[in-house]
């Protein structure tokens, strides 16, 4: 039987140290359900250190991401307050293994959301929408993993950046999204690439979190998932995600 706590310590230590580890699946035979248990136990270690859960991330929500990583299932992870990078702030490159940026949209919830819900019910729980960037950083060597490995590793979530919140009356179904690095476009996409409409990602988040016994809370942020493939970051980069009608958000990477 899989040793959930031992595996949770391995991924948590790797995330804290910014050090690459071999894939857990090389040594441990574990199921997807056990992988989510590892993720939960690793997140508990963060909470025990004083971090607070502030939301949830959805992953592999676009075909571009699935193709980039060779996996086909939706995944999810947990967001803590420590993972929030303030808009315009600098991240320390040395604290990461091999960070990448994904252009995303984020939802802020005004009420709890328990699944299953329709897309319309999900939208009715939204207080605001913002342009966002997820900083992913697989703790596994060469960014290579099985589905179980990536789930155990909080679905690679490492940080998130939020732009200004907009009222949810903007039609977000097909907004142009442009990820720039140092002023140069590196990924171009549309919010429609996120499951056809980003609100479907929120509805999935409600269903999945309820199944996990942890429904979405008022005040939480839900990251809808990348609209394009992720872009590898280098020291000194200035990264910006511009979302049509919503504005932009960005951060710099230490030199
Ligand atoms: O879309 C995502 O946020 C997936 C993250 C997990 C896979 C990866 O590291 O690319
Ligand atoms: Mg993402």
Which whole-number Å values give the CA distances from 207 to 115, 226, 227, in the listed order? Answer: 4, 19, 21
Please tell me whether the overall predicted TM-score, pTM, comes out greater than 0.85 for this model. Answer: yes
CATH 3.90.850.10 fits 4-253, yes or no: yes
> Cβ atoms within 10 A of the Cβ of 18, count?
17
- For a ligand 1 pocket test, name from 67, 141, 156, 204 the mutation site with the most ligand atoms within 8 angstroms of its C-beta: 156
Indicate if ligand 1 lies below 6 Å from the C-beta of 103.
no
pLDDT tens by residue, 37-75: 999 999 999 999 999 999 999 999 988 888 888 877 799
Task: Point out the ligand 1 atom lying closest to the alpha carbon of residue 223.
Answer: 3
Q: What is the pLDDT of residues 111-169, one digit of tens each?
A: 999 999 999 999 999 999 999 999 999 999 999 999 999 999 999 999 999 999 999 99
Residue 194 CA to ligand 2 centre (angstroms): 10
Is the pLDDT at 110 greater than 80? The verdict is: yes
Tell me phi and psi for residue 107, to 5 degrees. Answer: -110, 140
Gap between the Cα atoms of 195 and 255, Å rounded:
35
- Does ligand 1 have an atom closer than 6 angstroms to the CB of 145? no
Residue by residue, DSSP assigns 113-173 as B-SS--HHHHHHTEEEEEEEEEEE--SBGGG---HHHHHHTGGGEEEEEE---B-TTS--T
The best mutation among 75, 99, 105, 160 to test binding of ligand 1, ranked by most ligand atoms within 8 Å of the C-beta, falls on 75
User: Quick one: which of 219, 254, 250, 204 has its CA closest to 234?
Assistant: 254
Q: Which residues pair with 59 in a beta bridge?
A: 75
- The whole-number pLDDT of residue 60 equals 92
Cβ of 59 below 6 Å from ligand 1: yes
69 CB near ligand 1 (under 6 Å): yes
């Amino acid at each position: 039987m899989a040793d959930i706590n031992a595996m949770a310590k391995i991924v948590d230590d790797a995330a804290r140290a910014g050090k690459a580890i071999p894939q857990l699946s090389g040594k441990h035979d574990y199921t997807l359900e056990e992988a989510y248990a590892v993720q939960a136990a690793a997140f508990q270690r963060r909470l025990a250190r004083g971090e607070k859960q502030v939301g949830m991330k959805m992953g592999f929500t676009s075909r571009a991401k699935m193709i980039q990583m060779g996996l086909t299932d939706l995944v999810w992870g947990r967001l803590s307050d420590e993972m929030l990078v303030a808009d315009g702030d600098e991240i320390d490159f040395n604290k990461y293994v091999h960070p990448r940026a994904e252009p995303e949209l984020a939802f802020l919830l005004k009420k709890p959301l328990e699944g299953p819900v329709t897309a319309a019910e999900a939208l009715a729980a939204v207080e605001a929408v913002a342009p966002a960037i997820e900083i992913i950083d697989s703790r596994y060597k060469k960014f290579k993993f099985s589905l179980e490995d990536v789930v155990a590793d909080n679905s690679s979530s490492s940080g998130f950046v939020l732009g200004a919140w907009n009222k949810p009356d903007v039609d977000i179904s097909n907004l142009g999204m442009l990820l720039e690095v140092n002023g140069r476009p590196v990924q171009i996409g549309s919010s429609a690439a996120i499951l056809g409409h980003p609100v479907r990602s929120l509805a999935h988040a409600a269903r999945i979190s309820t199944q996990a016994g942890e429904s979405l809370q008022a005040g939480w942020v839900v990251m809808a998932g990348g609209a394009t493939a992720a872009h590898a970051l280098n020291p000194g980069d200035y990264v910006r995600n511009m979302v049509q009608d919503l504005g932009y958000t960005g951060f710099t990477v230490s030199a």
